[in-house]
Chain A
Amino acid sequence: MLAIAVKPLALTLKFWWRFWPQLVATVLLGIVFGDLFMQLAARTALLNHMAGLALLTLVALTQLIVTVAMFQTLLPALPAVQAAQQAAQGETEAAPATGSARLTRMVSVALLPFFAYYAAWGFLGDTVRQYSRVTLDMAPFGEGAGNVLDVLDSRWLIVSVVISWLIRRFATAMQKRGGARSFWQIVVVICETNWIFIGLYVISRWKDEAVGWIMSRNIFSVLEAAADGLTHPVAGAFAAQFVPVEVTSIDTTTKLVNLFFYMLLPVIWLVLAALIYGYDVRDDKELMRAHRRVERLGERYRAIPKFLRDFAEHFISGYRSRYLPIANGVRITLSSGVVLIVTLIVGYRLIDWLAAWAWLGMTRLIGPHELDTWQVLSQGVSLLFGSPFQDSSTGILVEPLRICFLAAILETAFSLPKRRAAESAQPGPAGAAEAQHA
């Protein structure tokens, strides 16, 4: 049991030692390009809000490419994951591709599901927040440029999506005609990223607005009042007591919900790692195999008439596509034992915790300075450890370690004898299908 907990840690250090120059260089490239694209997007936004938002796609794309590239760098050190990949791809894959062809494949196979997932979990919100902060710095109080994010509420966004779609169609046609396939593939990816970015982020905003509108109609208040009237015919007139903030406590339900989401993030990242390595975690067949009862439940669900199933799918498909990969991710690790998932959660959070303390320790070591001097020094400290005060901030010492740890967990999960036996019994998971679709 202890061996399972220790193995990922040992592997993490091993991967880090073997690949640290490549990983650090990739993180640095990401920082440089991300920052330049962000500046470009913000400056463009001062001229045209829509164009600024379109260029913001490149920032998100840079972040994703960096993460994907780091995981791909580690791949030669992951024999068990490679074996699972090969088993998934079966004989459909030709000879190992090299150079630009490999890049294209990597981008097309790993990036899109990764991006959709990234958006679904609200990581894109971080990028938009950074963008609005940078533009606010350039035009304080919105002077001249106004609010650059107002475009998110504009119905003209649909035109932008349509333009992206048309360019994508053209690129796809050119790709089929042959010649500079890699280039057209990248154009396709940028277009898709653009409409996924705008589509997912903006639609989620509109959805919130719609829900807000419905909630503001007081329908629920009326219903609640009616229910209250029935259960308490004599009206109560007690004001809630004032409780000093020092003695208030967070109730257990809130604590549990917070704990759940605190533990969920490492699992999400594990799933992202699995997605990048081309292992299809969105397939529910494997999850159904996990337990006989679950399997029976799945069979019963399939026995329901199709129109009823379609009706249900209409409501649950969003949550299904969001939580199914996590369920599968949990299953990948849980099937290897609780110890591994605990190692994942504790280890992932430990890296965050150590990075935050290293940041703090470094500030103590440097000592007090004037604010302007500190602003410069803090950039150096944040480059090393990432900033605990910024969204999606990556440090060159922390990010490679985090990626190595996730890869080590995945490698451990795939190399456990139990899983290998299960895979040999039922060969060919659905990864091949995913690779083909993409």
Chain B
Amino acid sequence: MTAEVLDQENRDGERKWRRRSLWSLLLLIPLALAVEAYDSVKALLGNNDLFARRVVWGQSAQFGGSDWKLTDLRGAFGMSNLPPDSVPVLADFQVKIGDPNLQNLWLGCKIVLIDKDGRRWSPTSIVSLKATGNVQTCISAIFSGAKSGDTLNLRETFLVPKEATKSIRPAVSVASERPHFLLFQLEKD
């Protein structure tokens, strides 16, 4: 076998491997990205409310093993000692317990208000309003010992800017359902 033939064979082999490698990149790049980013993507999906499930006013939705229904969203105007141009807002829910394992299913329960620009407000403890005895918050309900079939009344209090009150909507999320969350619509929607 002459050197030229060998050289030609080597060149053909190299070209063949170049082509194979190019094709393999189509598979290897997404695969490497998936392997590398798996934990980060899992954390992103598990820690964030990304996909909204809209709930029409007056309807209830199955979420975290229970049926959630928004019963009221109203502003408490006329309170003193508050930051200027801010309004306390109360969000009331009625939850019919399905699966009573709340300590697992409702872990990381979060009720927030979202406006049309995507801004979010978490519940506040600055404003304290008197409530009837059987009203709880989302977190306290986890440890209430509620059984299947019980109905819980939940209330969260928020402090939002006056200009945002027109477009705010309440949203509920729990770790067992993330990245999905419930976005409740109002009567006027």
Contact = CB atoms under 8 A, between A and B. Distances in A.
B37 A380 contact: yes
A36 B31 CA distance: 11
A35 B36 contact: yes
B164 to A, nearest CB: 21
Contact of B35 (A25, A31, A137, A378): A31
A376 B40 CA distance: 5
Given A28-B29, A372-B47, A22 B36 contact: no
Interface of B: 10, 14, 17-18, 21-22, 24-25, 28-29, 31-33, 35-37, 39-41, 43-44, 47-48
A2 to B, nearest CB: 31
B34 to A, nearest CB: 9
Interface of A: 19, 21-22, 24-25, 28-29, 31-32, 35-36, 76, 137, 370, 372-373, 375-376, 378-380, 382-383, 396
B40 A375 contact: yes
Contact of B44 (A24, A28, A376): A376
A32 B35 contact: yes
Nearest to A22: B21
A32 B24 CA distance: 13
Contacts, number: 61
Closest 5 interchain pairs by CB? A21-B21, A379-B37, A28-B28, A375-B40, A25-B21
Nearest to A138: B39
Nearest to B35: A35
Contacts of A21: 18, 21-22, 25
User: Which of B29, B36, B41 neighbours the largest number of chain A CB atoms within 10 Å of its CB?
Assistant: B36
A45 B102 CA distance: 33
A372 B48 contact: yes
A32 B31 contact: yes
A169 B39 CA distance: 40
A410 to B, nearest CB: 20
A126 B158 CA distance: 49
Contacts of A22: 17-18, 21
A24 B35 contact: no
Contacts of B32: 28, 31-32, 383, 396
Contacts of A370: 48
Nearest to A137: B39
B21 A24 contact: yes
Contacts of B17: 22
Contacts of A24: 21, 25
B44 A25 contact: no
A286 B96 CA distance: 85
Given A24-B21, A28-B28, A375-B43, 14 more contacts: A22-B17, A28-B31, A31-B32, A31-B35, A31-B36, A35-B35, A137-B39, A370-B48, A372-B44, A373-B44, A376-B40, A376-B41, A379-B33, A383-B33
Contact of B36 (A372, A373, A382): A382
Nearest to A134: B39
Nearest to B45: A372
A234 B32 CA distance: 69
B24 A25 contact: yes
A28 B33 CA distance: 9
A76 B35 contact: no
Nearest to A24: B25
B133 to A, nearest CB: 39
A379 B40 contact: yes
A175 B44 CA distance: 50
A368 to B, nearest CB: 15
A351 B182 CA distance: 49
A28 B41 CA distance: 19
Nearest to A28: B28
A376 B25 contact: no
B37 A25 contact: no
Contacts of B40: 372, 375-376, 378-379
